[in-house]
Amino acid sequence: MEILDIQMPSMSGLEIAQKCKGTDTDTKIVLITLHKEKDLYRKAQELNIFGYILKEFALEEIENCIKTVTEGSPFFSEKIKELIGVVLQKDNYDLNILTPSEKKILKLIAQDKTNKEIASQLFISYRTVEKHRSNIITKLNIEPKTNSLLIWAKENHEKLL
């Protein structure tokens, strides 16, 4: 694992993440930032950033963040969630209403797999994956916005194990 400390006077961390997303790199990005805006937090999740820590809490959280990210799970600071008022609805969802196939697909979504990758791995069609995703969104009452299922899956990955 390589940890880079990059000072970016000309680009933001989100701009760097956007560039990385455009490549097929296996890099896991962790932002350590002063920014507490809900929009930036959501954008970080949409860009598949694996960690988001506030600088003021970095000393408390960095070790746990690095450990979590190296194990393949995202780490979004509970402190930032509290500060920006992200409602944690983890216990409001009943995963038992999902079929075994939907649960498998949800786990793969949490691992950043694309519909094409999921279809290939499960030996089903791309359209079947899309239909399962739609059913999951409906059953879990997730807002049908771009990447909302991915964001939900990352925030609730521990419930999917």
- Residue 90's pLDDT is 43
Chain segment 58-109, per-residue pLDDT in tens? 888 899 889 888 887 788 887 777 776 654 444 456 788 889 999 999 999 9
101 in the same domain as 43: no
Which of 84, 105, 124 terminates a domain? The answer is 84
What is the pTM for the complete model shown? Answer: 0.48
Which of 84, 118, 145 terminates a domain? The answer is 84
Q: Is residue 3 part of a domain?
A: no
Mean pLDDT, rounded, for 18-35: 78
- Residue 5's pLDDT is 54
153 in the same domain as 114: yes
Q: How many domains does the chain have?
A: 2
Tell me which of 19 and 88 has the higher pLDDT.
19
Q: Is residue 4 part of a domain?
A: no
110 in the same domain as 71: no
Distance from C-alpha of 92 to C-alpha of 10, rounded to nearest angstrom: 42
Distance from C-alpha of 49 to C-alpha of 14, rounded to nearest angstrom: 9
